[in-house]
Amino acid sequence: MTAIEPRSTAARGTSQTPEARQERSPRQVVADYVSLTKPRIIELLLVTTFPVMFLAERGVPDVWLIVATLIGGSLSAGSANTLNCYLDRDIDAKMHRTEGRPLVTGAISPRNALIFGIALGIISSLWLGLLVNWLSAGLSLAANVLYVGFYTVLLKRRTSQNIVWGGVAGCMPVLIGWSAVTNSLSWAALVLFLVVFFWTPPHYWPLSMRFRDDYAEAGVPMLPVIAKDVAVARQVVLYSWATVATSLALVPVGDMGWIYLLTAVVSGGVFLLEAHKLLARAKSHASNAVLRPMRLFHYSISYLTLLFIGVAVDPLLHFAL
C-alpha cells in the first residue's frame, strides 16, 4: 500500500557533504530519519490494523495490546520503507516526486540508512514477539521480507504487475491485527486481506498515471508506463469491482451487521463511480490534466478508511447492546 510523500525543497541531485550533514541540527537529523520510514504510508497501514482488532475481539481489545501492536507494526513498516528507500535511491534520484528524499540529497548516508532499517526490523520483531505474540511477529517479518525482497528487489523493475503481487505486503497488517488479538487467523481475516489486495491496484495505478513520466524516466515499468490509459482504466474498474464484491463477502463470513453493510455499500458505490468516471475520461482521450487520475487515488484512501471504520464500529454496537 502507498501515498504521496511531501516533497523537499532540495534540488534534484543535490548531495550534501559530510561536513554539511554535521551542521544539521538534531531535530533536522531526526526528521530526516523519520521521513525514511514514510510516515504517511504507515498511517494508511495502521488504518487497516487497528479496526480489525475490534472485529477480532468483537468489542474493545485491551488498550495495552492495541498500543503494543500499533507500535510494533509502525516499527516494522518503518523498517521496510527505510530499506525500500535504500534500495531505490537510484530511482528516487531520477523522479521528480522523490528527488528530495534524504538518501538522494545526501542528508543521510546509505550505510546509516541500511543500519537504521535493519535495526528497526529487529526491534519490531522482538517487540511484537515479546509483547504481543510470535505469530504477529512472524507475520510482520513476512510483510517486511515481501515488501523489500519480493516487491522492491524482484518485481518493481521487472514487471508491470509489480504492484499487484507486491501489494501482498500491504495486506499483512490485517492479519497482524487479527492475530494480535486471537493468536490465530480466520476466514474473516482472509476476506479483509483480499479486500486490501484487490484495492491496491485501483489505489496505486491512478498515482502511477499521474507520475508516469517520472516512472518512465526511472525505467520502472508501471502499468501506466507501458499501457494506454484506456487499458489501465479498465483494469482499475475490474479491480474496483473485485474490491467492493469482496468487502460485501465479509457480511456473511464475518457475521457483520447493518452498520458495516451500509458503509460498504455506500462507500463502495462511490468508489465504483469514480473508477468508471476515470474509464470514461480515458476513453475520451483526455490529457493527463483532464484525466484527473488523482481523484480516484485520493478517494481510494477515503474509501479504505471508511470501510475499516465500519469494520471497527459494527462489532462495537453489538458489544454495547
pLDDT tens track for 152-180: 999 999 999 999 998 899 999 999 999 99
Q: Count Cβ neighbours within 10 Å for each residue of 234-264 and write b for 16 or more, e otherwise.
A: bbbbebbbbbbebbbbbbebbebbebbbebb
Q: Which fold has domain 29-177?
A: Tetracycline Repressor; domain 2 (1.10.357)
* pLDDT (average), residues 146-150: 96
* pLDDT (average), residues 234-249: 98
pLDDT at position 162 is 93
For residue 11, with 0-12 CB atoms within 10 Å meaning exposed, 13-18 middle and 19 or more buried, which class applies?
exposed
Task: Kindly report the CATH number that applies to the domain delimited by 186-321.
Answer: 1.20.120
The confidence band for 23, taking pLDDT boundaries of 50, 70 and 90, is confident
Judge whether residue 11 has pLDDT over 90.
no
| Annotated domain spans of the chain | 29-177, 186-321
| Average pLDDT taken over every residue of the chain | 91
The confidence band for 222, taking pLDDT boundaries of 50, 70 and 90, is very high
Phi then psi for residue 236, to 5 deg, are -60, -45
The confidence band for 285, taking pLDDT boundaries of 50, 70 and 90, is confident
- Residues in CB range of 165: below 8 A, 6 or more apart: 150, 151, 155
pLDDT at position 290 is 81
CB 129 within 8 A of CB 117: no
What percentage of the chain's residues is helix, strand, coil (to nearest 5)?
80, 0, 20
Q: What does the alpha-carbon distance between residue 193 and residue 173 come to, in Å, rounded to a whole number?
A: 8
The confidence band for 233, taking pLDDT boundaries of 50, 70 and 90, is very high
CA 164 to chain centre: 12
The confidence band for 21, taking pLDDT boundaries of 50, 70 and 90, is low
pLDDT at position 24 is 78
pLDDT at position 44 is 87
CB 51 within 8 A of CB 180: no
Judge whether residue 51 has pLDDT over 50.
yes
Q: What tens digit of pLDDT does each residue of 67-108 get?
A: 999 999 999 999 999 999 999 999 999 998 899 999 999 999
Give pTM, 2 decimals: 0.90
* pLDDT (average), residues 266-290: 89
Distances (CA, A) of 39 to 10, 75, 114, 239: 19, 10, 18, 26
Q: What does the alpha-carbon distance between residue 168 and residue 175 come to, in Å, rounded to a whole number?
A: 11
pLDDT at position 14 is 46
